Amino acid sequence: MTIRLHVGENLSDPLVTPLTYFGDSLRLWLSGGEDFWEDAGSTDPCEDGDVIEVWSDQATVGPYDASNSNTPIYDDDALNSIGGAVFVRADKDALNFSNAIIEAADTEITCFLVFNSTAAPINDNRTVFYYNRGGINCFVIEAMDVSSKIRVFLQRGTAEMMLTPVLTLSDFHYISMWQKEGVGAEIWVDGVSKATNANAGAWNSTGWAQKACIGNNDDSCFTGTFMEGFVVAGPISDADRQVGENYLATKYNL
């Protein structure tokens, strides 16, 4: 039997990972420090300063690897001695993955992210994480430098949550966001609930403008470092969410 340890795990005190805890409900897992590649064939691991061509998905459902649009850079000691993806150009840098991570029957989803954001030279409302399946039915997490806030669109132009109080975006935060169709949504920063919304938006539409990415490569990508992200489909309890948050807080010493 082969045992594969992820970053932050050891045999004497193993850290529960998203895959070991959420199983097939885990639809995407881009794990910090793991499986960054500088070639499309995923045979040449990134070293410090290399352009990231592929960030391999650790979930088993797809997998849905994130691929390079332009030039995110690998930093092998981005946070807590763990490698991450550094986004430099707000008009270009992005990593794209498949929007098939969410299936037509899914009505509930929770996303977990770790990132920081630095000042953008082009656009104050900078896309960190974007998911769209049919034009208006999407969610977008944006970093807003001037107001030092994070904004979440549940349906762009229809419903949004603006996080207050003001955040220090240059600091790393772990953020979790939950939405259930017909019920509502909530977002937590560093384990503390910051905003709720009774939005009943659907996830399961199909149509034009389907897209899923970190950054956006359309003049509104954030600049900063994205350390980790994973997506869980289906019902999730407060205890489940806290397991995901504890994993991130422990791994990154946040």
Residue 140 CA, chain-centre distance (Å), reads 11
Q: How far is CA 34 from CA 43, 70, 233, in A?
A: 13, 20, 23
Buried b (16+ CB within 10 A) or exposed e, 183-203: ebbbbbbbeeebbebebebeb
To which residue do tokens 């946040």 refer?
254
pLDDT at 174: 94
Average pLDDT over residues 2-27: 69
User: Which carries the bigger pLDDT value, residue 242 or residue 12?
Assistant: 242
* Sign of CA pseudo-dihedral 155, 116, 230, 186: negative
Tokens of residue 78, six digits:
């981005």
Q: Express each pLDDT in 192-201 by its tens digit.
A: 998 888 766 6
| SS3 at position 139 | strand
pLDDT at 160: 64
Whether residue 36 has pLDDT greater than 70? yes
* Sign of CA pseudo-dihedral 164, 170, 176, 179: positive
Report the alpha-carbon distance of residue 173 to residue 190 in Å, rounded. Answer: 6
Q: With DSSP H G I counted as helix, E B as strand and the rest as coil, what are the percentages for the chain, rounded to 5? A: 10, 40, 50
The mean pLDDT value of the chain amounts to 81
Q: Express each pLDDT in 203-222 by its tens digit.
A: 545 544 567 888 876 667 78
Report the alpha-carbon distance of residue 207 to residue 67 in Å, rounded. Answer: 22
Report the alpha-carbon distance of residue 250 to residue 254 in Å, rounded. Answer: 7
pLDDT at 81: 96
The pLDDT-based confidence of 157 (bands split at 50, 70, 90) is: very low
The pLDDT-based confidence of 3 (bands split at 50, 70, 90) is: very low
Q: How far is CA 62 from CA 29, 102, 232, in A?
A: 10, 11, 13
Give the number of other CB atoms < 10 A from CB of residue 62: 14
pLDDT at 210: 67
CATH 2.40.160.20 correct for 82-251: no
pLDDT at 38: 93
What's the CA angle centered on 36, arms 93 and 106, to 5 degrees?
A: 75
Q: Express each pLDDT in 62-102 by its tens digit.
A: 889 999 867 799 999 999 999 999 988 777 788 988 888 88
pLDDT at 172: 93
pLDDT at 162: 65
Tokens of residue 186, six digits:
């909530």
pLDDT at 129: 86
Report the alpha-carbon distance of residue 16 to residue 246 in Å, rounded. Answer: 9
User: Which carries the bigger pLDDT value, residue 25 or residue 136?
Assistant: 25
What phi, psi does 19 have (nearest 5°)?
-70, -45
Q: What share of the chain in percent tops pLDDT 90? A: 40
To which residue do tokens 């603006």 refer?
162
